Amino acid sequence: MVSPADSPLPPLFANWFAGRGWSLRWHQAQLLTRASARRSALLIAPTGAGKTLAGFLPTLVELSGPERNEGLHTLYISPLKALAVDIARNLEEPVAEMGLPLRIEARTGDTPAARRQRQMRQPPQILLTTPEQVALMIANPEARKVFSGLRQIIVDELHALAPGKRGDLLALGLARLRLLAPQAIAFGLSATVAEPDNLRRWLVDQAGGPAMADLVEVPRSLAAPADLRLLETEERLPWAGHSARHAMAEIYSEIGRHRLTLVFVNTRMQAEFVFQALWGLNEENRRIALHHGSLDVGQRRKVEAAMAAGGLDAVVCTSTLDLGIDWGDVDLVINVGAPKGASRLLQRIGRANHRLDQPSKAYLVPSNRFEVLECHAAIEAARAGEQDAVTSREGALDVLAQHCLGMTVAEPVHPEALYREVTAAAPYAGLEREAFDRVIRFATDGGYALRAYDRFAKIRRDGEGRLRVANARIAQAYRMNVGTIVESTMLKVHLGSAKGGALRYGRLLGEIEEYFAEGLTAGDTFVFAGEVLRFEGIVEDRVVTTRAHGKDPMIPSYNGGKFPLSTHLAARVRSMLADPSAWAGLPEQVATWLALQQGKSALPGPEDLLVETFPRGGRYYLAAFPFEGRLAHQTLGMLLTRRLERASLQPLGFVANDYAIAIWMLRDPSIRIAAEPEFLGRLWDPDMLGDDLEDWLNESALMKRSFRACAVIAGLIERRFPGMEKKSRAVTMSTDLIFDVLRKHEPDHVLLKAARADAATGLMDLRRLSDLLMRIRGRIVHHDLAQVSPLSVPILLEIGKEPVYGEARDQAIADEAARLLDEMGEAFGTA
């Protein structure tokens, strides 16, 4: 607390605070001080600490003074457009109550074009917006005028924004804003993270070498400890799977004991399943709703409104409710499945009792045995106040290409000046001039070695050597395609009918990923929008379904979740496993399971790698327990399989989850290991990240996926272009073809480089894989077993539920064709 005498608050504000029974908090005072000293700052505070008000107070104070009231003063940027709109509403109240003569407006993709144009002509004093809109505004020829008087930039949820491509785009946008408005300072608002320095650098100009924004961190003692524990369940804990079916009765009874419960799950499919299961138990007619990103917007808004009005007892939701928005009186958060990271868990717990002075209450519901360990580790981490780190990243080249084109749309710019400008943004501080030039060449005419497209160049040089956009059509196409969010292709889901073979569609229920719809055949049932639906077929781009009354869904698609286990939690799980004295807090079934493993094989040590080999069903298995997350394990599986193939052990397949990996083969690896003691060490040698990786990568579906995103972001493919809406279903096909042609004819192209970098960090977790391989050198513990070990059971249960990649897909088609032809025999003759 700050005493009235030292308060940096003017009387108007002090009275307003007093009128609400509030006093100025320490971090709010800190930001006021930084603003008067014109210093940028990173504010780290737990959810519920009044971060947003802290960010805006200096603006409001400054704008309450007599000297200035015209023009854009503060630009607030949030990752969620709903958040921008929400905050605009929340600010209206203090502004009205204090009688401040201010215009506050939100600007998102949903803002009508006429209003957006007006916002450029007559900007409000406070504008709340998204990274994409910032990109659009700075590419406007009016940008210099609009932003000339800007004094304050506020970036909300910085911990969520900075680590991705949207963060790259916004960092470049900030670099431009600093040029247009050198007087402006930036505040970043962030949830608690380990190693905040990366975010501090992100906020400020790096042109003069590494610089950091001030750090304002709310001391931990101000945050109340959470009532955080595992939800105890009666039924047997499953070995594998992600449905958490065993815990539904307990979850349901907790809902009855609380005012409003949020049930968080990791995927949409889990949400559907849990929702379905809870309604199956709902004898007391509790008001339980469903909220996830694939549902129709209207339906989601209804749930949000009902929640705010106190008309619900529970909401089953995915991370769509993760970020910042205040949803009223939540008094219990239940997290189903493993939280995957300590920070994510804290974020979700923060939903309960959105106030600092009351303890938040949160229960974790692991859906299988390994998740028990992981949840336990997450709880320990949360109690110790430990967080996952936000690592620094190298800015993506596809984003840079988009930004550079945008800057030539704004006004002519010298390449030298543009290079200086972009390297002032932290993600691009290390960008070589040569790489920058390649990106400019790419943005100009595709940057191909074969200079075939000079005459179609999108960027031209004027008499002074400045870059400028070639024509108005290119400028318009740029504006229509701005942004870095490349969604997976979605198909609309409709209720409909299938009478006499003709499909008709009716009411819209929401959207599902195309790949999921593609996997369905007529008659399959699945849960969506809280109902069991029967898949009838796809008409145009719409999935037609009918109600499948009272049936259990046949498609159990519970993918573990999008996020791999964090490095930090993985280390905790490993050390917990290795230390039987830490098992006391675990459910008895789990402790028994671990004890059994210790007897039959061994437990992985905190720094070791446990490798088991055993025969089963005529095949030989190799199981290992690196705990490095699903992505790194999948990559590892691909690479190890290639090596085992070369060692003539005839591998047939592998399976990977967040904790373990298992490979099965026709020849016995334990014989080889016994004969050649160095065999295992060589198998796991870090040199697998060399040529093997390169070969595999080039064939991999992961590369095609990241290439598609890069091609869209970099502007090679336009999602929307003037006069036409390109269907993204068509895009999927053509970027794969482009990838094939490019790889064959110009493998060093800058876009392939960008795709490779993306795949390496995002989809394959190469950094973690390489850390693992270095860590376990000389530390592999091998146990040759007569049968499967207790620890290996869960991973073996996942066999057959894994996606198949690469060449194996062609084989799957050939096998299916052979099977069908055999089945039909002579009835289906050959010509």
Asked if residue 331 binds other proteins (CB under 8 A), the reply is no
Which residue lies nearer to other proteins by CB, 666 or 808? 808
Which residue lies nearer to other proteins by CB, 485 or 808? 808
Site for other proteins (CB under 8 A): which residue of 380, 746, 771, 784? 746
Stretch that binds other proteins, among 291-299, 331-339, 566-574, 713-721 (CB under 8 A): 713-721
Asked if residue 812 binds other proteins (CB under 8 A), the reply is yes
What is the per-residue binding string for other proteins in 478-517, x denoting contact by CB under 8 A?
A: -------------------------------------x--
Q: Is residue 93 within a helix (H) or strand (E), and if so which, with residue range?
A: helix 81-97
Measured CA distances, 347 to 27, 38, 344, 382, 547 (Å): 19, 30, 5, 11, 36
Provide φ and ψ at 103, rounded to 5°.
Answer: -110, 125
Asked if residue 394 binds other proteins (CB under 8 A), the reply is no
Order of strands, edge to edge, in the sheet holding 651-656?
651-656, 661-665, 619-624, 609-616, 780-784
Task: For the segment 430-449, give every residue that binds other proteins (CB under 8 A).
Answer: 442, 445-448
Q: Let me know the angle formed at the C-alpha of 266 by 369 and 360, rounded to the nearest 5 degrees.
A: 85
Which residue lies nearer to other proteins by CB, 146 or 717? 717
What is the per-residue binding string for other proteins in 529-558, x denoting contact by CB under 8 A?
A: ---------x--------------------
* Separation CA 798–CA 815 (nearest Å): 22
Site for other proteins (CB under 8 A): which residue of 355, 745, 767, 779? 745
- Joined together, the tokens standing for residue 54 give 């802290």
- Joined together, the tokens standing for residue 274 give 């849990």
Residue 662 burial (CB < 10 Å; 0-12/13-18/19+)?
Answer: buried
Amino acid at 737: L
Q: Is residue 656 within a helix (H) or strand (E), and if so which, with residue range?
A: strand 651-656
3-state SS string for 221-245: HHCCCCEEEECCCCCCCCCCCCCCH
Site for other proteins (CB under 8 A): which residue of 721, 756, 785, 797? 721
Asked if residue 720 binds other proteins (CB under 8 A), the reply is no
Q: How far is the CB of 714 from other proteins (least distance, A)?
A: 10
Amino acid at 313: D
Which residue lies nearer to other proteins by CB, 494 or 782? 494
Which residue lies nearer to other proteins by CB, 192 or 706? 706
Which residue lies nearer to other proteins by CB, 616 or 809? 809
Asked if residue 744 binds other proteins (CB under 8 A), the reply is yes
Q: How far is the CB of 193 from other proteins (least distance, A)?
A: 37
* Separation CA 173–CA 292 (nearest Å): 30
Asked if residue 808 binds other proteins (CB under 8 A), the reply is yes
Stretch that binds other proteins, among 62-70, 183-191, 231-239, 803-811 (CB under 8 A): 803-811
Stretch that binds other proteins, among 57-65, 243-251, 601-609, 800-808 (CB under 8 A): 800-808
Site for other proteins (CB under 8 A): which residue of 359, 519, 530, 762? 519
Site for other proteins (CB under 8 A): which residue of 32, 636, 742, 776? 742
Asked if residue 803 binds other proteins (CB under 8 A), the reply is yes
Sign of torsion, CA 254 259 265 269?
A: positive
Which residue lies nearer to other proteins by CB, 149 or 519? 519
* Separation CA 538–CA 546 (nearest Å): 12
Asked if residue 453 binds other proteins (CB under 8 A), the reply is yes
Which residue lies nearer to other proteins by CB, 301 or 504? 504
Q: How far is the CB of 117 from other proteins (least distance, A)?
A: 24
Measured CA distances, 402 to 382, 411, 479, 547, 568 (Å): 39, 15, 10, 45, 34
Distance, CA of 631 to chain centre: 14
Q: How far is the CB of 463 from other proteins (least distance, A)?
A: 24
Sign of torsion, CA 488 492 498 502?
A: negative
* Separation CA 368–CA 794 (nearest Å): 9
Asked if residue 830 binds other proteins (CB under 8 A), the reply is yes
Asked if residue 420 binds other proteins (CB under 8 A), the reply is no
Site for other proteins (CB under 8 A): which residue of 57, 61, 477, 644? 477
In the chain, the N- to C-terminal Cα span, in Å, equals 88
Stretch that binds other proteins, among 236-244, 597-605, 640-648, 711-719 (CB under 8 A): 711-719
- Joined together, the tokens standing for residue 431 give 């960008």
Phi-psi region of 806 (alpha: psi -120 to 50; beta: other; left: phi over 0): left
Which residues contribute to the site for other proteins (CB under 8 A)?
442, 445-448, 450, 452-453, 456, 458, 473-474, 477, 515, 518-519, 521, 538, 715-718, 721, 730, 733-734, 737-738, 740-742, 744-746, 749, 803-804, 807-818, 820-821, 824, 828, 830-831
